[in-house]
Structure 1
Amino acid sequence: MKRILIITFYFPPYTGVAGYRPLSWAVNFKKHGLSPIVVTRHWEKGGQNSWLDSVPPYGTEVEKTEEPFYEIYKTPHRHRRGYQWNDKSIFRSVKYWMAKLKGHIMIDADSYTSFKPICEKIITENKIDYILVSSGPLNLIRLGHELSSKYKIPFIADFRDTHNNNLLQHNPRLSFHEKVDKKIFEYWLRKWLRNVVLVTGVSQPLLNLMQKLHHAKSKLIFNGYEESLFDELSALPTTSDRFVITILGNLYQRQDIAFMTAGFKEFITQNPDVLIQFVGTTGSGNKISDKIKAAIPAANLLLTNPKLRLEALSMTARSHVLYYIGWKGFRGIYSGKIFEYLGLQRNILLAPSDNDVNAALIDETKSGKVADSIEEMVAVLSGWYQEWKHTGRLQYEGNTAAIKKYTREKQAEILAETILAN
């Protein structure tokens, strides 16, 4: 069996969706001929509400654990010499730019400094056949490149997103700052991807963007949902006394929050026996929460702080409708929640549509409906509400075979087979 070193900043007990992608590789690779060793950082058990929760130093010792399907090394989170994580001086931005120019990218999450010694120790003490890096932060791509060059081990780079999602707009309009940033990042990524044998990513538009920076093979590896866990969750009964619509996780200013709130406001006016719950959305910031509170009556609204994953998913599973705001004007932005919505097997409403990957996913899996106007959104919700009101349930017509393609187990299998083919 081949041994693979998985290097990832995010890994449970980190509660964000980014940690579950490498976890699925660690748990499933052995079935397909790869024996994983994971290097990650210590995380405090509990909800991480924002990026700032990942910045301060944390942990004291390297901890090795033997799990049933993989070994894992957790390192203390430390920054490179001279960096102050809480620096509020007027020279902060100058220090950041100087660091970028020297190839020290995303120094708030400087896993390069923390991970390099333990990775080299593992490689010298074990026969490692592959190095797989989950990015970001992008400084881990640098680490993967250097380890691969030094020890002559094939290097696979996986990208969950770009360093700037504005690059995925149909017609990107970048500020001067963003243009300079793009030049710097592309310079270093071209250098660090010179010896990569495979580049994987979560969407085809993302892979197309990265293709300009390397000459290796590319492979689309979706995010997904854990099959056995979500089979249990989907069997939970929906709430009987109210019609429940749920929005899971963060919302972002670049999404059309005004569209969502206007649609919900009109729908509730016509159909008052409704609860709209935002599970974990308050971590998105007060501005978005304030807009939601201003539009939706308190009697019809539940806003929660970020919760542990299983609790959040259990709340979501008891809903009748799962709502998702499409990324209008962007290409290839799936969020982890759209796959979790698929796994929960509840009707999905995408409104407004992204007219892109998420709309195509819902059409392929027959897992819900898409609305391009507020009137359409209200009509879809009202139709579902009336069905629930008259029958006590809401019919779900998702295509199970199509949905099962997006389990994390299936995606891990595809990735393992692709790696072993190199």
Structure 2
Amino acid sequence: MTNLEEMGQKAQDAAFELGQLGSKEKNTALLTMADSLVLNTKEIVAANKEDYDKAKENGTKKAMLDRLLLTPDRINDMANGLRQVVELPDPIGKVDRGWQTTSGLDITQERVPLGVIGMIYEARPNVTVDAAGLCFKAGNAVILRGGKEAINSNIALSETLRHALQKVGINQDAVQLIDDVSHETAQKMMELNQYIDVLIPRGSGKFIKMVVDKAKVPIIETGAGNCHIYVDKDADLDKALKIIINAKVQRPSVCNAAEKVILHRDIANQFLPELYDALQANSVEVRGDTLSKAIVPDIVPATEEDWGTEYDDYIIAVKIVDSIDDAIKHINKYNTKHSESIITENYSSSRQFMKQIDAAVVYTNASTRFTDGQQFGFGAEIGISTQKLHARGPMGANELTTTKYLVQGDGQIRK
């Protein structure tokens, strides 16, 4: 079995060394990581093919296979993500605020690394690179534990990154991968609070709940995305159609894909048949409530379970409501606090929706697929936080820091 205590100690040692590095040294390492990914594309793709072929043999769904697949273009995108991270401001040492107290103490609050971050995730090998790059930029060591479905891909990626660090003279234990994918080792990692400062799970809602329930290490909860698009009575329906198709079809297996469409009753008769045909043309199964099925009889009846389900597949559910208030009430009841969107040309409706929806990201007239660190300008992302402490929404380098107070005195004592 993997010696997690040894890995934890190595990560702590590496984290201390990273804390002494300047921005130039970190950025040089990140650029070397990016170049190494491109140079090793052939080897990475070959390792990924082993994982992909095995998953396909095991009957993995098409949408989940897409999550697993690495191509030269996707590897190049990961490398470009690291290069974007280089361009970001270094959060370490940034002064959030400073003041002098009545006793003459000068206090500054500065950004510092979290320390050692644990990443536990399912079959998305791109997380290996995104997490390593962002953690490194923020001065953190990272211990990675991916799913068994992507083990060969993750080994190839992590070894490429470690060799790049070694090449520039930086402790390669800043990036470590647990290659034992047993449940026992995963459980032990979740209890490693003497070495890991924070644990970040990425995967399905069921997977994240399991980690939240079992972990002893503090957690930043990410990922589960039961995302809605509400088409208001004052919507531009051409705009709505394009947005919904993009949000559902472009990559249905990711957490920011749309899973539900809510339609205002006033536009449902006109819009739903066209929407249904467009979704069917993209091989999407449409489920719906009684009112939806009355308009389009071929719609599959939705159950109560559907409203709270993140499909991660070519499935979407439709509900018809009488008002924007009903839409907001329904969304807040069933959503996962990830990303929600309203399609409307009515400014008042837009403001109401954006103010009253409880989610990390709320859109007007845009696809939920934009909830992504790279799209937000953060470079890569380590995840989408769906909780409220200590970060919310797409998490870049700044969200992988904490603060400490630096107090400068001149002999003061408290009376």
User: Which TM bucket (shorter chain)?
Assistant: 0.3 to 0.5
- TM-score under structure 2 length normalisation: 0.35
The structure whose RCO (Cα within 8 Å, separation 6+) is larger is 2
